[in-house]
Structure 1
Amino acid sequence: MATFAELEREADELVRSAGLAGRVGAREHLLASMAFHAGLNDSVHCPACRSVIQVEEFPQRNGLTITCPCGVCSGTMKGF
C-alpha cells in the first residue's frame, strides 16, 4: 500500500505533466481520488475552503464523484 507522501509525489508529477499546475484544486482533486483507492480518503483538504474532500464511488463502480463545500475541488473521475 502506498503512503500518503508517495501519493502526494505521484499527484504532483501527474498534475505537472498534464499542465495543470496553475489550476487551483487540480492537485487535491486528483490526490483525493488516489487517496480513496488507497483507503486514505479522509486525508485531503480543499485549498480554498479547507474542508475534507468527499469521494464517493459511482453505483456502477466505474468512476468517482469528488466534492467539497465550495466547489473548487468538485467533479468526477471516470473509468476506474
Structure 2
Amino acid sequence: MPNIEIYTSPLCGYCHAAKRLLAAKGASFVEYDVSRDPKLRQDMMGRANGRHTVPQIFIGARHIGGFDDMAALDHAGKLDALLTDN
C-alpha cells in the first residue's frame, strides 16, 4: 500500500469524511493538523500547488486534492487501484 498523507484541521467536516472513507477502505494514513502550525500549512500549500483548503490528500507522490476529488475517484471506481499501487 502506498504512503497516504492527509492535511487536516479538527473542525473540518470534509476532513472527517475523508478519514472515514480511507478507514472504510482499510487504508492507513499519516494525518497532519495544520490548524496551529503555519509552517505546516505553507508546506501543504507548496505540495498542493497553492491550494489552501483542507483536507489535502496525497497517495504516494500523487496529489489527489480534497475530499470531493477523492470521493469522485471512488465513485468512478479508481480509488481502490490507487490505494493498492506500490
Q: How would you bin the TM-score normalised by the shorter chain?
A: under 0.3
Higher relative contact order (CA 8 A, sep 6+): 2
Which TM-score applies when normalising by structure 2?
A: 0.26
- Identify, as 1 or 2, the structure richer in helix: 2
Which TM-score applies when normalising by structure 1?
A: 0.27
